[in-house]
Amino acid sequence: MSEHIVSVRVYITIFLVLLVGTALTVWVAFLDFPGRLNTIIALAIATAKATFVVLYFMHVRYSSRLIWVIVASALFWMGILFAFTFSDYLTRGVLSTGY
């Protein structure tokens, strides 16, 4: 399995995308959106930026399936921590035990 060498042009493109993303997230932060939309937009932009770093700077796009599985698993496990903990906090008082 030979090593894939990512071109400088790709790196420059991703770098500029990341800078634009940063400017975007700062600008959008000052606009008032209804409900939780501000948070969702901020997290969406951050996730997109992180994805670009992972795929291109960290070469995951050109890596073996094992690496993909590892990255996905880590995110999934953090998801377990969040989901199950919030399954507690968000449902307190939903079911009454009578005492």
Residues at the contact surface with another protein, assessed by CB under 8 A:
1, 3, 5-6, 8, 11-12, 14-15, 18-19, 22, 25-26, 29-33, 38-39, 42-43, 45-46, 49-50, 53-54, 56-58, 66-67, 70-71, 73-75, 77-78, 80-82, 84-89, 91-97
How far is residue 59's CA from residue 52's CA, in Å, rounded to a whole number? 10
How far is residue 2's CA from residue 13's CA, in Å, rounded to a whole number? 24
Tokens standing for residue 58: 């960290």
Provide, rounded to whole angstroms, the least separation between the CB of residue 47 and another protein. 8
Provide, rounded to whole angstroms, the least separation between the CB of residue 88 and another protein. 4
Report the 10 Å Cβ neighbour count for 56. 19
